[in-house]
Structure 1
């Protein structure tokens, strides 16, 4: 039983992997792709246009330049946007709700504080990496940064340690989870695009993420702290979530909300391993382990244990839920537009052309998937766009791979998507401002850490590829 077949109705059409007939010659298609990607970069980086419109215009230029015709300039874009938002968008919404209840109730703070309270000063960097790894499972990268950085600053100030020594491990934990582990949007999109097995990808993603966080986080942070010995500022205001009575949920309760969706999704792998998919129990486990159902169950669970159980009324719970929707509107639009641009690339045939070129080059497929994602990441500054586009390009090449190697392709693409964050990435400026760094210092720390996450992640994927 192929487990993704159970998720296909929910994540349908994020990528059309069926062969397409190129609308133009190879040279024209490649030129069209280069022009459209260059236009997107110019519009985002120099014109400062919102990525949604930049991606939309880039898709139109791609369609017209590739001889798809003016009448179909936005046909593929609209189809890709609709299928991406319709599939992954719902999961993003549910993930945002879970994250909101964790932050508003103080549950996320409770997890972090509990870990830190049991950690000696010499191990604080490792504790922050662990805290970020746990908290980062259900939270979007930006939410995790906003949550953890004020705590990082406070911990660094109290321990009188360079803020980089404490902060880089936390950022490494968040970044690795963002690129490698579902239910984050990038991995989920790549899983559907490449028709990978969700449970296998989740399990292998965690295996790759653990050493990646260790090396790119606490290990590398020691050297970075010497290069950039910036101390935490004197004035700090750290806001902490709590309920109206000033109480936080217990550590175990908060942790259960974080781990519940992961456990539910891993149940599908158990069903496949035990070959009980045709039994009633197997069907139930597959149903609740599908991403949509798993996150929906966790969202409802969070409303109870982090909401009403702490004394909040249903009106207040509804308000918190509503507050989670606003901040992700832009994310949904950008992710959807990335899917639209990707679908235009796929429908033009350029993905098949590039894919065939890579296949003919003799380059190992896992390395090729990583490299394609790296190029798109450097060009656009978006890990999600890099994941979507690279997955679209590599999809025609994975048909003959085993389920484990298709899952590893998802991870290779995810690792490549976080390579070298620089000035065209919002995360670069977010970290720079939070830490009070110069542009040069941000390159020496944050950008280098992202490179380490990407390269170590790739090495982990290639090593797993030798044994699974």
Structure 2
């Protein structure tokens, strides 16, 4: 009976989000209360569990997500992202423009949240395709594939960071494994797949063009590239150093501090504040105001993550988690595949990759703990599943269609297939890595 209640709760969550269009955070709270009452938790324990779950979930993530939002906003506003794109296009030349844009999406996608990266990069795609008379979809989709992969696979993006916290995984190893899987995934889902889309007719609307910053006013090439990558560099160095040094050594402890995602992001944000001041050489006060606006952009993401943490806590306090463990232990599906499959199903139903990933984690946490699964790989498996088959219930689907001004049929053929390729290759990469780690 308890499992039926959990199943019904998930269905209600999906219907509230997709059918009634209720705000996702509110939907999580309603479902938490319903599940708590149905699972016979004391009424006063329901709200305390919701609050505890939200607090535990957000405690380790608020700093990371807020600093990440600020860094991404400054990288975009200063022209650093434009500098990265233009420098790579010039370096690769017309013949390899698609590869240049792919690399641009990967570098820019690390500090930028997906929606911000999409809105910022698409006009740059249009400017390149117009200048060189290239097909917009075939040329631009690889960059968007890179943004999608970084969004789903790589901390410090919200969803993978939240999954790392939920599973108590290692941020550095998850990032390392994510990069190993991401590179071939981007190549196949990006340049290789997009080469089959050259016949798709796309006439981008003038309304979606932006005024680019003059080349002479852009920040330097070195700072434009290095500042967005500071968190990745520090977290990566920490993972390498700690694998070679004793836990009591000074270097081990110091690297652990510098490689903490919050510290790494704070260092990158400090560098961005003083070295990426934009074409108008903005004052610190103006930049601080921008940071305040950036945090507003991610408040709803934080609330959704908190709501998922509340649902996880309700399931834990009710004892249903142990029942889920016993049932799943009897299944023949490998845990990493099971995580991908559940996330993919919820993604198709709900449309939100964040909701799909975090809901899946809440269901599987006790099972993963009991099975002793590699939590770093489970983060990536669920992240890959949460990207599967974007369609009409995903805002990203409509953003792509409207920005590129293509038909729904062509959006399915390009955007939806690309997201599915990313998802399936992500799972394949996880399973391959599982053979060696």
Deviation at 1:460, TM superposition (A): 0.8
Deviation at 1:393, TM superposition (A): 2.8
Whether the 8 Å CA contact 1:157–1:232 is kept in 2: the answer is no
The aligned residue for residue 17 of structure 2 is 44
3-state secondary structure, aligned to 1:139 = coil
**Cα distance in 2, alignment partners of residues 37 and 319 from structure 1:** 39
What does 1:395-414 align with in structure 2 at a 5 Å threshold? 395-399=365-369, 405-414=374-383
**1:428 is aligned to 2:397:** yes
3-state secondary structure, aligned to 1:437 = coil
Deviation at 1:401, TM superposition (A): 7.0
**1:339 is aligned to 2:312:** no
**Cα distance in 1, alignment partners of residues 40 and 370 from structure 2:** 31
Change (3 A) 1:99 1:340: same
Deviation at 1:63, TM superposition (A): 1.5
**1:382 is aligned to 2:355:** no
The aligned residue for residue 251 of structure 1 is 221
Whether the 8 Å CA contact 1:108–1:135 is kept in 2: the answer is yes
**Cα distance in 2, alignment partners of residues 234 and 388 from structure 1:** 37
Segment drifting more, 122-131 vs 234-243: 234-243
Within the candidate set 393, 415, 425, 2:363 is matched to 393
**1:274 is aligned to 2:247:** no
**1:211 is aligned to 2:180:** no
* TM-score calculated relative to the size of structure 1: 0.87
**Cα distance in 2, alignment partners of residues 351 and 151 from structure 1:** 47
Change (3 A) 1:334 1:156: same
3-state secondary structure, aligned to 1:271 = helix
Deviation at 1:40, TM superposition (A): 2.0
The aligned residue for residue 13 of structure 1 is none
Deviation at 1:392, TM superposition (A): 2.8
The aligned residue for residue 204 of structure 2 is 232
* TM-score calculated relative to the size of structure 2: 0.93
3-state secondary structure, aligned to 1:224 = coil
What does 1:99-178 align with in structure 2 at a 5 Å threshold? 99-178=72-151
**Cα distance in 1, alignment partners of residues 308 and 394 from structure 2:** 15
Question: Which string of whole-angstrom CA distances, capped at 9 and with x for unpartnered residues, describes residues 250-299 of structure 1?
Answer: 11101111110011112321232112331222211111111111111111
**Cα distance in 2, alignment partners of residues 426 and 235 from structure 1:** 19
The aligned residue for residue 336 of structure 2 is 366
Segment drifting more, 174-183 vs 332-341: 332-341
Change (3 A) 1:128 1:309: closer
Deviation at 1:59, TM superposition (A): 1.5
Whether the 8 Å CA contact 1:200–1:407 is kept in 2: the answer is yes
**Cα distance in 1, alignment partners of residues 228 and 186 from structure 2:** 18
Question: Which string of whole-angstrom CA distances, capped at 9 and with x for unpartnered residues, describes residues 396-432 of structure 1?
Answer: 33447778x3211111111111111122222222222
Runs of 4+ deviating beyond 6 Å: 400-403
**Structure 2: gaps (5+ residues):** none
Within the candidate set 232, 240, 244, 1:262 is matched to 232
Change (3 A) 1:144 1:373: same
**Cα distance in 1, alignment partners of residues 372 and 212 from structure 2:** 46
**Cα distance in 1, alignment partners of residues 144 and 320 from structure 2:** 35
Deviation at 1:90, TM superposition (A): 1.9
**Cα distance in 2, alignment partners of residues 291 and 332 from structure 1:** 17
Segment drifting more, 300-309 vs 42-51: 300-309
3-state secondary structure, aligned to 1:138 = coil
Deviation at 1:384, TM superposition (A): 1.4
Question: Which string of whole-angstrom CA distances, capped at 9 and with x for unpartnered residues, describes residues 215-265 of structure 1?
Answer: 111111122333x3324346663233589xx72211110111111001111
Within the candidate set 180, 184, 189, 2:157 is matched to 184
**Cα distance in 1, alignment partners of residues 401 and 314 from structure 2:** 34
Deviation at 1:121, TM superposition (A): 2.8
Deviation at 1:43, TM superposition (A): 1.9
Change (3 A) 1:107 1:143: same
**Cα distance in 2, alignment partners of residues 41 and 211 from structure 1:** 33
Segment drifting more, 39-48 vs 248-257: 39-48
**Structure 1: gaps (5+ residues):** 1-27
Whether the 8 Å CA contact 2:203–2:406 is kept in 1: the answer is no
**1:357 is aligned to 2:330:** no
Segment drifting more, 35-44 vs 172-181: 35-44
Whether the 8 Å CA contact 2:384–2:424 is kept in 1: the answer is yes
Change (3 A) 1:223 1:346: farther
What is the RMSD of the two structures over their aligned residues, measured on CA atoms?
Answer: 2.3
Deviation at 1:356, TM superposition (A): 3.2
**Cα distance in 2, alignment partners of residues 425 and 217 from structure 1:** 20
Question: Which string of whole-angstrom CA distances, capped at 9 and with x for unpartnered residues, describes residues 105-146 of structure 1?
Answer: 101110011111223333222221111011111111111101
Whether the 8 Å CA contact 1:29–1:348 is kept in 2: the answer is no
